[in-house]
Chains A and B, each alone.
Chain A
Amino acid sequence: MASVSFREVVKEFGRTRVLHGISLDIADGEFVVLVGPSGCGKSTLLRMLAGLEDITGGTIAIDGRVVNHVDSKDRDIAMVFQSYALYPHMTVRDNMGFSLRLRNEKQALIDQRVAQAAKILNLDPFLRRYPRELSGGQRQRVAMGRAIVRDPKVFLFDEPLSNLDAKLRVAMRTEIKALHQRLKTTTVYVTHDQIEAMTMADRIAVMNEGRIEQLGEPLELYDRPANLFVAQFIGSPAMNIFDGVVRAGSVEALGARWPANGRAADGQRVRYGIRPEHLEPAASGIAAEVVVVEPMGAETEIVARVADASLTVMMRGRSRAGPGERLFLAPQAVHAHLFDAASGLRI
């Protein structure tokens, strides 16, 4: 186990700068998720940590040792790839033991470590099989087994679940989290799926266009997004956001008055954000017209129209409302998020 630290890390491909001075400290045993839309540089950052990409500027240190010019194999890391990257001509057992074999470990030790990992991941029945004889989920587990066997300082995951179907993804998510709780190995996990990030991470780094937009615990990001990008990226369904002007402590927008905290100056142009679950229908309040009702059992998602904006409303339980009907929304000031219209920063 080890800490990982990025200091002003820069990456350029030719003349294109894809990472603009990333600084991030990951504590020993922590599970950090790098999340962001595709092209935001999260995979590049992970690959630089793995030693698969050169570092243009800044330093990356593992356990206090700067590894900028250290070979992948000497960084004591293990990586799980999106495509699994299993050696097709080797059995599951050989795949998992490959790294130890390269280190000239004794066969007895290799067998013991592979058996141990196979037991943790329920791979015992498949040790003699070839990757092509396994299902997607099993292959993914073998890839994880290959990482575990090495007992590395840091685990790196590069979108490991994106090739699995939705159901299996949820199951594997739990499995990876349980594995981390058991092994307590420092983990850096890359995904574009904010739900994966929210459910698994100790801390999340939301990335966009080569920068970290916000770093924090999952609920901290959800409750207090630092800017518009994070507000829109974290949470599903996404936060409702629209333009408004501050007037006497509340926000005038969409032809209505929306309650807000009094931190913004009077007359300031803002973007008003409110999460769908904080827009529950009430007996009175801001009038809205129901457009679509999507019952999900425990909750109901309603797309409603206020002035010319479509807002998502999430209510607990079920709704009898039908398209075209009116309903009233009563948001509370404590749940409102205000962002500066110009800079997009939280007010």
Chain B
Amino acid sequence: MNKFLREARLWLVAIPVLLWTLLPIYHIFLFSISTKDSAFSGALWPAKPTLHNFVTVFRQEHFYLHDFWHQIWNSLWIACATGVLTLAIATCAAFAISRLKVRGGRTVMNAALFTYFIPAAFLAVPMYKAMGSYGLLNNRWSLVLAMVTLAAPYAIWVLKQASDKLPWELDEAARIDGATPLQLFRLVYLPLMTPSLVAIGTYALLLAWNEYLYAFLLLSNDIPLAVGLGHFLASDDSPWELLMATALIYGLPPAAIYYAFRRYMVGGLTSGAVKT
């Protein structure tokens, strides 16, 4: 009985939270399968559900959608580049700080984390100025570099924490076995860090994928889809059903990535290394 009550209480909290989270998504879905006329009807289900909006988006048959494929490609490119670059920097940094115990490593990490005291929105203008001096404005790399700057401190910190948990004896065993630091990194460290690397790579990738402010500031022609979506609101009579259909498509890759890598989000690869 007690257990029943506990579970009931849990459900009482869970169901409203779930509804609260799903409602906007349902709203998007509803708009995306409605015709332009019925989009604002207020019904819970459209009278004539249609997939026509998606066809319009895919065929780029609207003024705001002329660059849809190009923009989604930009989003993908920027997200992937950010993910890979963040991972490369953060992994090397975490390895150096946590495993090689490089002098001043912790200070560097703390200094990097300190940058989070300044909100990203405040940094936007200085970042714009910096990218301008490098001649990178309106270049996809400017957004990638900006996103790496924002993602790296957190990534280094998380990977450093994960590295600290790897048994130290593995490094010592490898050293005695004759491994150089690079071999240790490649043959022992990277394989054992895979779950954390996937999680952090996904984090950086999604951070860049979802970014609007910096993308809007730094890029004018080669814009990602997030900024493209913003353009929909530029007119008085926005095509909401197309906006929502595009938004739904835009939301799919992150969901797919989460689903694909959910196994890695939980660790467990190191079991068996040392007696615990």
Contacts and interface: CB of A to CB of B under 8 A. Distances in A.
Interface centre among A81, A99, A103, A134 (most CB of B within 10 A): A81
A98 interface: yes
B103 to A, nearest CB: 15
A94 to B, nearest CB: 10
A141 to B, nearest CB: 14
B169 A81 contact: yes
Interface stretch (A83-91, A255-263, A306-314): A83-91
B42 to A, nearest CB: 56
Contact of B192 (A72, A83, A88, A98): A88
Contacts of B179: 73, 102
A72 to B, nearest CB: 5
B176 interface: yes
A83 B167 CA distance: 9
B178 A133 contact: no
Contacts of B188: 87
B8 interface: no
Interface in B21-58: none
A86 B273 CA distance: 5
Contacts of B269: 88-89
B169 A87 contact: no
Nearest to A81: B169
A70 interface: no
A88 B273 contact: yes
A89 B275 contact: no
B253 interface: no
B191 interface: yes
Contacts of B178: 73, 99, 102-103
Interface string B187-208: 1100110000000000000000
A82 B270 CA distance: 17
Given A89-B269, A102-B183, A84 B176 contact: no
B271 A132 contact: yes
Contacts of B271: 88, 132
A89 B273 CA distance: 9
B173 A85 contact: yes
Contacts of B7: none
A52 interface: yes
A121 to B, nearest CB: 17
B177 interface: yes
B100 to A, nearest CB: 14
Contacts of B172: 50, 52, 72, 79, 81, 85
B274 interface: yes
Q: Which 4 A-B pairs have the closest CB atoms?
A: A132-B272, A83-B274, A85-B169, A73-B178
30 contacts: A52-B175, A52-B176, A73-B175, A73-B176, A73-B178, A79-B173, A79-B176, A81-B173, A85-B167, A85-B172, A85-B173, A85-B273, A86-B273, A87-B170, A87-B173, A87-B174, A87-B273, A88-B269, A88-B270, A89-B192, A98-B187, A99-B177, A99-B178, A102-B179, A103-B178, A132-B271, A136-B275, A139-B272, A150-B177, A163-B275
